[in-house]
Amino acid sequence: MQHLITTSDFSKEEIIDLFEDAKMFKDLKSNLFLQGKIVVNLFFENSTRTRSAFEIAAKRLGAQVISLDVGQSSRSKGETIFDTIANIEAMKPDALTIRHSECGLPGSLVDHVTCPIINAGDGTHAHPTQALLDLFTILEHFNWDAQGKKVAIVGDVKSSRVAGSNRRLLPRFGMEVVFVAPDCFKYDDADGFKQYTHISEIIDEVDVIMSLRTQLERHNEVYFESLNEYAKDYCITEETLGDRDILLLHPGPVNRNVDISDAMLKDPRCKVLQQVSNGVAVRMAILKKLLG
């Protein structure tokens, strides 16, 4: 049985095959690949895109979906996370998607379940399905060959599981990943990746900018007096890109005029909503692979 805890759980060949299915699912039409299956979503952290995309993906494949309302669950009566999951697992679902604030929690469960676990984001560690949909969107944009392309991940990289997953995944497909952040958001150990302070230092070299949200909920201290202060240097605007042919991405949720300006969000180079649509197709392919 295969799980998806980090993108390393899939070989490059498996990802290429996965994307062939995702291309087939891009029209987001319904089929019966997973008829009779039940997927349980366990989101212990808030989500708009990932939770909805998993629900829609599973339903488009003919599966049924249970999304546990964590606020109404017996967690409030003192049940541990492990007991919650053991009890859901005892009901024999066909897959569990799990989002949790604790790094490593989904991975720690794989030896205790009899169905695939899909990591829907664990703390600052990993968000494999986001990185896979980002890779799919980049490859689609560059006609399925992004070898040699340079991707700048901009913003609160240290707290970002999206940055963590993409720095592991994109180089496997020939891309160079660099980071742009104020000192407080840089990695203490960038493990050989280049880090810059201002996007202007490399704007003429990059093919893709991936802007990130400032993850205030994961900070132990206040780094900026206000997000407007941060935005002066890190908001991606029409002035930042000029007339350069750069693909602009963001995993969402976007803090408008902090991460990306209103005008830039309407610019055809910005593919944020394309990422969201692709996220359903890619998750359909992942569910088909793990449950099919």
Q: Which stretch in 4-12, 48-56, 62-70, 90-98 sits in contact with ligand CP by CB under 6 A?
A: 48-56
Q: Of the candidates 49, 59, 75, 218, which one interacts with ligand CP according to CB under 6 A?
A: 49
Nearer to ligand CP, 107 or 128 (CB): 128
* Binding of residue 50 to ligand CP (CB under 6 A): yes
Applying CB under 6 A, does 48 fall inside the site for ligand CP?
yes
Nearest to 246 by CA among 257, 260, 233, 232: 260
Strand partners, 211: 154
| Residue 218 near ligand CP by CB under 6 A | no
- Position 106 contacts ligand CP (CB under 6 A): no
Nearest CA among 126, 138, 124, 128 for reference residue 275: 138
Smallest distance from ligand CP to CB 166, Å: 12
Contact between 124 and ligand CP by CB under 6 A: the answer reads: no
CA 175-181-186 angle, 5° bins = 90
Give the count of beta carbons closer than 10 Å to the beta carbon of residue 13: 8
Residue 97 is a binding residue for ligand CP (CB under 6 A): no
User: Per CB under 6 A, which region of 25-33, 46-54, 64-72, 84-92 contacts ligand CP?
Assistant: 46-54
101 touching ligand CP, by CB under 6 A: no
Site string for ligand CP, 244-273 (x = CB under 6 A): -------xxx--------------------
CB of 201 to ligand CP, least distance (A): 27
Binding ligand CP (rule: CB under 6 A), the pick from 17, 23, 47, 193 is 47
Q: Does the protein bind ligand CP through residue 107 (CB under 6 A)?
A: no
The verdict on 2 binding ligand CP (CB under 6 A) reads: no
Contact 251, 279 (CB under 8 A): no
Of the CA atoms within 13 Å of residue 51, those in its CB half-sphere come to 17
| Binding-site member from 106, 121, 128, 164 for ligand CP (CB under 6 A) | 121
Note whether 137 binds ligand CP by CB under 6 A: no
Question: What is the closest distance, in whole angstroms, from the C-beta atom of residue 241 to ligand CP in the complex?
Answer: 22
128 binds ligand CP (CB under 6 A): no
Which one of the spans 45-53, 108-116, 135-143, 149-157 is the region binding ligand CP (CB under 6 A)? 45-53
**Scanning the structure block, which residue is given the tokens 């497909």?**
173
Does the protein bind ligand CP through residue 119 (CB under 6 A)?
Answer: no
DSSP-assigned letter for residue 118: E
Tell me the C-alpha distance between 135 and 177, whole Å.
Answer: 12
Type of residue at 253: P
Which residue's CB is nearer to ligand CP, number 93 or number 128? Answer: 128
Which residue, 33 or 129, has its beta carbon nearer to ligand CP?
A: 129
Q: How far is CA 96 from CA 67, 115, 131, 151, 181, in A?
A: 10, 7, 19, 32, 35
Q: Can you tell me which residue has the tokens 């493990």?
A: 191
Residues 2, 284: Cα–Cα separation, whole Å: 16
Distance CA 222, CA 98 (A): 29
DSSP 42-101: EESS--SHHHHHHHHHHHHTT-EEEEE-GGGSGGGGT--HHHHHHHHHTT--SEEEEEES
Residues engaged in binding ligand CP (CB under 6 A): 47-50, 121, 130, 251-253
